[in-house]
Structure 1
Amino acid sequence: MKRLAVLVLCVFLLSACGEKKPASYELCGYGDMMVVNDKEYVKVSAEKKLTLQKKVGSIKEKIETKYHPVNNFTANTLAEGTPIYSVKDHKNYLIAQTKDNRYLLYEEIK
């Protein structure tokens, strides 16, 4: 019985190997994310009093929520065109301004 279990496990592992194209995005385990200036940011639910500094750009591509964004100015929940701002005195934060004028705080993943 043990040999059968080992054999089934080996067949399963070998069937997973092969020449497959890698996916352009991987499944996301962080939730709301974006990539800006080659850095990954995740949405923070904490409320803080912060000051917007300057606009750093806008989201260029929205991907499905279940995926992890990898390209610059890509997000998995923010709409295309969402403006992104830097935060005064906090280089690891960015703020996204939604169409309904909500401000969402994102923190860099290190």
Structure 2
Amino acid sequence: MTATGALPGPDGRLRCPWGLSAPDYLGYHDEEWGRPVLGDDALFERLSLEAFQSGLSWLTILRRRPAFRTAFDDFKLTAVAAYGPAERARLLADAGIIRNARKIDAVLANAR
């Protein structure tokens, strides 16, 4: 371990220890963590995923992110803002995402 707490990864590059704790974290650490999130849809996605993460690990959300993107039309604000009762019911039945009614309702309200 270096004085900064960083550890060498499989490629020899230094990374935060949490970034090496699971394969899913490696790409997130290298490509996303600590970088600005730009654009309304991208910010909406991050806000939504952070809301779903509440009470859970970020790793759980990262592993389900492809299913979330599919379920929420890639987090396109205009698409999600138009969701009605049928889409809400579909989301509540989607085993690929976190099926918490309050969190789903919050995402729909935030889109609107």
Q: Which protein has the larger Cα radius of gyration, Structure 1 or Structure 2?
A: 1
More helix by share: 2
Q: Specify which structure has the bigger relative contact order, considering alpha-carbon pairs within 8 angstroms and separated by 6 or more residues.
A: 1
Is the TM-score greater than 0.5? no
Which category describes the TM-score, using the shorter chain as reference length? under 0.3
More strand by share: 1
